[in-house]
Structure 1
Amino acid sequence: MVIYDSVQKEKVPFEPVREGEARIYVCGPTVYDDAHLGHARSAVAFDLLRRTLTALGYRVLFARNITDIDDKIINKHLTTGEPIEAITARYTERYEADMAALGVLPPDLAPKATGSLEAIVAMIEKLLKNDCAYRSEDGTVWFDTSKDPDYCSLSHRCGDEEEARARIVHEEGKRHPRDFALWKACKEADVCYDSPFGRGRPGWHIECSAMIDAYLAYENEPYEIDIHGGGADLFFPHHENEAAQTRCATRRTLAKYWMHNGFVRIDGEKMSKSLGNSFFVKDALESYDGETLRFYLLSTHYRADFNFNEEDLTAARKRLDRLYRLKKRLYGTAPSQVGGAFRDALLEALSDDLNVSKALAVVDEMVSEANERLDKNPKEKAYKKETMANIAWLDEVLGIGGQDAYRWFQKGFSPDEIARVENLIEARDAAKKARDFETADRIRDELGEMGIRLMDTPAGTVWERAEL
């Protein structure tokens, strides 16, 4: 496995901290609003990494946090009057539902900031003890970046003055412009928790370092985890600050490798709330099923910026249709063993820093070759079983191809419409059995007017949308 390390700025061999293991931490959402396509892009990208490492035989421990203490959440509480717990619970549930719809596997660990206060306070106490943090007059605890000689060794962006001016928040009580809050002192109308430093709440950066140290870190190793991931926008200052905190608190390196996914752009513009073009996942799921959206998000390499547009999304659906048409052709075939050549080719592609273009080309080639071979010999049972196994394995590695082939081509109909169609099909089957062919033909015509095409198979009557 070769991955692109954001710190070294090149592809490097993945050599885990402990042989056969892979511990991964990915920054999750701040739960004050619905999940947008940026959340989805990151979740799908690192889900692919997790699945690939698992397929390669690694024992993967995967964590993704939930930030449920944050200024945005507090502002929503103050604006709406809704309890913070209700806000965070609702948007956490929606986020998890959206990710499940995209086929993203649930994390092994999903720590929340509110559930990690003890770990956060313990790390801040270490930083104070190591003289890497200080308290200002109002009780806020700050990280002292001047005490970390390796600060900015991660992103190397501290010399970029324009970047620094854009990123640095000027606040009272800081000794140095780049210092950042570890614990924010309680203010009026704020959300506060007790701590040895006084009532307040944790800063954003400290939660990830504390969670990794408390729940995920290897013991007695120079690195706490193997891979830390997240969006490219988090590299500086969030990940830079995480790395600094861990160095100064534990005298260890937070992660051996850092991986970052690219931005999402809506028809060429970077997705941003300020631009008013933040496209929520729930909106996309109203018109497209989750697997189509997942396949579309997978189709661009994770490090590249992703330009979201409906034309390409529709094209992705058609490309995925080809896989399901092959699966439908194999309907009723029990899978056997995955083809060795197919497995090797797909893993070789994904082992090259998740080269998804090459991986999907392998899938397309498998589909084309299978159709050509089955055209010549449709009763080749062993090959049909192997092909079905290949498709089942795709669901494990890429998270695609796992749905019922016939149901796939019934997308676009509501549950009520599906029930009506299937009731009519049952009535038609009953009419045919009673040799009432006039009624059977009338029902078939009625279904045709509804845009339904019927196929009588040995397994029974199946249907799909006629325009396909």
Structure 2
Amino acid sequence: MQIFDSVQKKKVPFEPIRPGQATIYVCGPTVYDDAHLGHARSALSFDLLSRTLQALGYEVTLAKNFTDIDDKIIKKIRETGKSLKEITDYYIARYLEEMGALGVRRADIEPKATESLDAIQAMVERLLERGCAYRVDSGDIYFDTCKDTHYGEISHMLGDEEEARSRLCELKTGEKKHPRDFALWKACAGEEDVCFDTELGSGRPGWHIECSAMIEKHFRGNGEYTIDIHGGGADLLFPHHENEAAQTRCATGHEIAKYWMHNGFVQIDGEKMSKSLGNSFFLKDALAIYPGELLRYYLIGVHYRNDFNFNEVDLKAAKKRLDKLYRLKKRLTPGKAGEADAAFVTALKEAMADDLNTSKALAIVDEMVSEANEALDANPKDKVLKRTVLGNIAFVDELLGFGSSDAYAWFQHGVSDAERARIEALIEERNEAKKARDFARADAIRDELSTMGIALMDTPEGTKWEKL
């Protein structure tokens, strides 16, 4: 397995801490609002990584956190009058439901910041004891970035790290000793604040400390690293991941992760998705129009490290491409999947083992669909062939996460409940007319459905239909 390490800025062989095992931690959402396409992109990227490592024989442990205490959440509490738990439970449930619609598998570990205060307190105390953190008059506790001689080496955002560190460490800024210092613990700021009583005082954790503490709580490394891979969106590389690495290094004496992986941004028609720009595309809006499986297929079509330009023209083109797989599957329905073709499985694994080369993987799937159709045209009754092709599609679903839907139901998406009831009533009426040998009426009903954009297929299992 080759992965692109964001720190080394190149593809490197994946060599886990423990042979045959892979530990991954992905920064999850801050749960104060609905998930957007950026959340979906990150979730899909690391879902694919987990699936690929499992397909290659690794025992994978994936963790994804929920930040359930934050300034944005406190603002939501003040705006809505709801409790912290009401707000965060609601948005966590929404997030999990929407990611499930995309075929994103649940993480093995899903820690929350509010349930990790013991670990957070322990790490902050350790940093204070080692002189790497300091308390200011307000009661806030800051990490002293100048105590980490390797600060800046994760993101390379400081240019010449040694010179930049020297320059920054000479500056003073307000309560903080240095401009890059960041809050580990925020003291309670008044009655309207959300506070937790700990030995650090009444307050709440800073954002960066949460992930470091949760990783140390749930994983045990080898003395040099805690986990194999730390992942997240490219926007988290600095300062979030830089700060995580620094505080973990100073608190534990080892690195938080052996490898760092980051997915690209999502743009809408070429503009970076950002709420400040007013063009944030909520996932719920996309799911209201398109099947989650289609959105997954579309979003993984661009390599995870590249920025993604979301537009409906490309989305519709993706649907036509995915439709071809489902038309093949429809040719094989009903049927049972057999063993997938070994060469096909190997080719897909090799593509994904190359730093999740989804473009190549999807091209391999396209080629399989084309060749399968040609083979079925030549040998339409070949049962072994049919089982093998269904096995291929099942492996596609296992590795890439699409292809599992009912072939006929796939072509019925977008039909309302009222329309569906009308269509099925007409099909039943047509069946009764055929039984009564009233073929004129049966043909008239078929014509009526055709004007509604509905095509009928009479099969041994009954009459099937699809929306054209």
What letter corresponds to residue 70 of structure 2 in structure 1?
D
Aligned to 2:168: none
After superposition, residues 118-137 of structure 1 pair within 5 angstroms as: 118-137=118-137
Question: CA separation in 2, counterparts of 1:27 and 1:362?
Answer: 31
Aligned to 1:81: 81
What letter corresponds to residue 146 of structure 1 in structure 2?
C
After superposition, residues 373-388 of structure 1 pair within 5 angstroms as: 373-388=375-390
What letter corresponds to residue 391 of structure 1 in structure 2?
I
Partner secondary structure for residue 348 of structure 2: helix
Instruction: Give 1:101 deviation, angstroms.
Output: 0.8
Query: Which of residues 262, 265, 281 in structure 1 aligns to 2:264?
Result: 262
Structure 2 spans left out of the alignment, 5+ residues: 166-171
What letter corresponds to residue 233 of structure 1 in structure 2?
D
Q: Does residue 1:212 correspond to 2:222, yes or no?
A: no
What letter corresponds to residue 213 of structure 2 in structure 1?
A
What letter corresponds to residue 120 of structure 2 in structure 1?
I
What letter corresponds to residue 310 of structure 2 in structure 1?
F
What letter corresponds to residue 381 of structure 1 in structure 2?
K
What letter corresponds to residue 347 of structure 1 in structure 2?
K
Partner secondary structure for residue 197 of structure 2: coil
Question: CA separation in 1, counterparts of 2:385 and 2:153?
Answer: 53
Question: CA separation in 2, counterparts of 1:235 and 1:175?
Answer: 23
Q: Deviations for 1:402-457, whole angstroms, at most 9, x for unmatched residues?
A: 00000001111023322332233233223323333344333323322322110111
Instruction: Give 1:62 deviation, angstroms.
Output: 0.6
Aligned to 1:453: 455
- Tell whether the 8 Å contact from 1:17 to 1:221 is kept in structure 2 after alignment: no
Question: CA separation in 2, counterparts of 1:355 and 1:362?
Answer: 11
Question: CA separation in 1, counterparts of 2:225 and 2:344?
Answer: 35
Q: Deviations for 1:226-247, whole angstroms, at most 9, x for unmatched residues?
A: 1000000000000001011111
Question: CA separation in 2, counterparts of 1:252 and 1:16?
Answer: 16
Aligned to 1:232: 234
Q: Deviations for 1:136-188, whole angstroms, at most 9, x for unmatched residues?
A: 11111111111111111111112389x99xxxxx9742111111000001102
Question: CA separation in 1, counterparts of 2:97 and 2:173?
Answer: 38
- Which stretch of structure 1 is more off in the superposition, 342-351 or 435-444? 435-444
After superposition, residues 427-442 of structure 1 pair within 5 angstroms as: 427-442=429-444
Query: Which of residues 300, 303, 319 in structure 1 aligns to 2:302?
Result: 300
Question: CA separation in 2, counterparts of 1:416 and 1:171?
Answer: 64
Q: Deviations for 1:246-276, whole angstroms, at most 9, x for unmatched residues?
A: 1111111101100000011111111111111
Aligned to 1:20: 20
Question: CA separation in 1, counterparts of 2:348 and 2:33?
Answer: 37
Q: Does residue 1:51 correspond to 2:54, yes or no?
A: no
Aligned to 1:37: 37
Instruction: Give 1:87 deviation, angstroms.
Output: 1.4
What letter corresponds to residue 176 of structure 2 in structure 1?
K
- Which stretch of structure 1 is more off in the superposition, 197-206 or 81-90? 81-90
Aligned to 2:169: none
Aligned to 1:393: 395
Q: Does residue 1:318 correspond to 2:320, yes or no?
A: yes
Instruction: Give 1:216 deviation, angstroms.
Output: 2.6
Query: Which of residues 289, 292, 300 in structure 2 aligns to 1:290?
Result: 292
Q: Deviations for 1:65-119, whole angstroms, at most 9, x for unmatched residues?
A: 0011000111121123222221111111111111111111111111111111111
Aligned to 1:99: 99
What letter corresponds to residue 289 of structure 1 in structure 2?
P
Aligned to 1:372: 374
Question: CA separation in 1, counterparts of 2:354 and 2:291?
Answer: 29
Aligned to 1:362: 364
Question: CA separation in 1, counterparts of 2:93 and 2:349?
Answer: 33
- Which stretch of structure 1 is more off in the superposition, 342-351 or 428-437? 428-437
Aligned to 1:422: 424
- Tell whether the 8 Å contact from 1:223 to 1:253 is kept in structure 2 after alignment: yes
Structure 2 length normalisation: TM-score?
A: 0.95
- Which stretch of structure 1 is more off in the superposition, 77-86 or 135-144? 77-86
Change (3 A) 1:425 1:140: same
What letter corresponds to residue 201 of structure 1 in structure 2?
R
Question: CA separation in 2, counterparts of 1:106 and 1:302?
Answer: 19
Aligned to 1:352: 354
Query: Which of residues 194, 198, 203 in structure 1 aligns to 2:197?
Result: 194
Question: CA separation in 1, counterparts of 2:160 and 2:187?
Answer: 30
Task: Give the root-mean-square deviation of aligned CA atoms.
Answer: 1.7
Aligned to 1:167: none
Q: Does residue 1:157 correspond to 2:160, yes or no?
A: no
Query: Which of residues 141, 164, 184 in structure 2 aligns to 1:182?
Result: 184
Partner secondary structure for residue 243 of structure 1: helix
After superposition, residues 401-420 of structure 1 pair within 5 angstroms as: 401-420=403-422
Question: CA separation in 1, counterparts of 2:132 and 2:182?
Answer: 12
Structure 1 length normalisation: TM-score?
A: 0.95
What letter corresponds to residue 131 of structure 2 in structure 1?
D
Question: CA separation in 1, counterparts of 2:61 and 2:410?
Answer: 32
Instruction: Give 1:59 deviation, angstroms.
Output: 0.6
What letter corresponds to residue 209 of structure 1 in structure 2?
S
Question: CA separation in 1, counterparts of 2:160 and 2:239?
Answer: 12
Question: CA separation in 2, counterparts of 1:102 and 1:172?
Answer: 46
Change (3 A) 1:160 1:415: farther
How many residues get paired? 460
- Tell whether the 8 Å contact from 1:184 to 1:203 is kept in structure 2 after alignment: yes
Structure 1 spans left out of the alignment, 5+ residues: 165-169
